[in-house]
Amino acid sequence: MGAFWSPLFILDMKDFEFYFPPIIFFGKDSLKRFSKDLSDFGKKAFFIYGKSHLKKTGLYDFILEAFKKKGIDWVEFGGIKPNPTLSQVIEGIRLAKEFNPDFIVAVGGGSVIDAAKAISCGYFYGEKIWDFFERKGVPERALPIITIPTISGSGSEANEVTVITHDEKKIKLSLRASCLFPKVSYLDPTLTFTVPPNYTAYGVMDILSHLFEFFHFRLYYEENLCEDLLVTLMKRLIKEGKKAYLEPENYSARAQVMWISTLALSPWVRAGVGAYRFFLHSLEHPLSGTFDFPHGLGLTILMRAYLKRFGHQAVVRRFYRKVFDLEEGKDLAKRGLKAFEDILNYFNLPKSLKECGLKKEDLPQLIEKACEILFIWKAEREFNKEIVQEIYEIAYEG
């Protein structure tokens, strides 16, 4: 399957450049700093959020009151959908240009923050922003972004990545650019207390997939600090994620899951890893981009399919040994898959796309979209169409 399945086992870290501009305020009192810091960013705010849940929790009123106290003029752009679309981003860009904000305040989950990043960039580049998602250039300008995440999963509050779905092309692509790093993020774990159990589980599995992809889909499979950090985070995530699922107001569990989420897709984790791919994400994006499938759920099913197919691989076996504390042996692949499935059973998650209502005839378009994404990512030689099809078929049947 290519270079990523011919790993180089070395014992040193890869050279890297570390750049992490966001300021993070974490904890129960973090929003007090939000009210205090607002005026540092200007006098006009573009306030972007998701659905009505924000208003039910009182967070919406808190934000508006903070604007008023600091004399901030604002315009609202609410109703951001899960898996935000290009059309909604274009509408946000139009509204932002009419208002001319000094900064953006994004309050919600990963979809809201991703949409905010795309709008912050599109404010300067207009509708040609999609060219950046197709790797036809890299943006250098964006409006400053402040984030307040209300769900753990995407880690968008601490990285320079945004993911958007093109409505007409039905393709979901990512964009990475340094200008998309948020300026400040305020992380209050109590804001995640009201996240429903199923979305808590989706978020935990989303985070786990981020860490697993760094662990597995890298060119250099060195056993060093990078791998140790990934293993530690995965083990802690599974432990605390289970607690948060059963005890939604367990502050310690929610706080640890939130911080792991923030770290999992940030430069802190990938520094020293070297070259890597996000293969599972290339397969999931067609699911959520075409069928509006929950991102974390799609990754869950695809990760299980991958583990089922490639449990014999040395790096998968290492994942089983280190993360699940399993002993080496001929049946390690079987025991490792069962350990993973035990997590799914705990969270009451399905193991197949068929269980989720997808049809067999949906697979060909998913395969084509995934291959298109891999081509755009310049990874089509490492992951050929036959492997993509095989993983989807296993994911469908379970």
What was the pLDDT predicted at 221?
Answer: 74
Q: pLDDT digit string (tens) for 53-95?
A: 788 889 999 999 999 999 999 999 999 999 999 999 999 999 9
Q: State the average pLDDT for the chain.
A: 93
Alpha helix positions (H), the chain? 30-37, 53-57, 59-69, 86-99, 110-125, 129-133, 197-216, 225-246, 251-264, 267-270, 279-291, 295-310, 314-324, 332-346, 363-376, 385-397
Q: pLDDT digit string (tens) for 128-167?
A: 999 999 999 999 999 999 999 999 999 999 999 999 999 9
Given a cut of 50, whether residue 4 has pLDDT beyond it is no
What was the pLDDT predicted at 17?
Answer: 82
Q: pLDDT digit string (tens) for 244-275?
A: 999 999 999 999 999 999 999 999 988 888 77
- Pairing mode of beta strands 184-187, 23-26: parallel
Q: Is the dihedral of CA 38, 40, 44, 47 positive or negative?
A: negative
pLDDT-based confidence at residue 12 (cuts at 50, 70, 90) = low
pTM for the whole structure: 0.95
DSSP structure string for 101-134: -SEEEEEESHHHHHHHHHHHHHHHHGGGHHHHHT
| Burial call 291-326: b when 16+ CB within 10 Å, e when fewer | bebbbbbbbbbbbbbbbbbbbebebbbbbbbbbbeb
What was the pLDDT predicted at 319?
Answer: 97
CB distance 292 to 111 below 8 Å: no
Residue 295 structure tokens: 């991102």
Q: Residue 338 to residues 2, 160, 205, 216, 309: CA-CA distances in angstroms?
A: 28, 35, 16, 19, 13
Q: pLDDT digit string (tens) for 272-300?
A: 887 789 999 999 999 999 998 999 999 99
- φ, ψ (nearest 5 deg) of residue 296: -65, -35
pLDDT-based confidence at residue 218 (cuts at 50, 70, 90) = confident
**Running DSSP on this structure, what letter comes out for residue 159?**
S
By residue count, the chain amounts to 398
Q: What is the mean pLDDT of residues 326-333?
A: 96
Domains with residue ranges and CATH for the chain:
3-16+195-397 (1.20.1090.10), 29-187 (3.40.50.1970)
Given a cut of 80, whether residue 220 has pLDDT beyond it is no
- CB-based contacts of 12, cutoff 8 Å, min separation 6: 222, 224
Given a cut of 80, whether residue 3 has pLDDT beyond it is no
| Residue among 203, 211, 250 at smallest CA distance from 229 | 211
Q: What is the mean pLDDT of residues 314-338?
A: 97
| Burial call 52-76: b when 16+ CB within 10 Å, e when fewer | ebbeeeebbebbeebbeebebebee
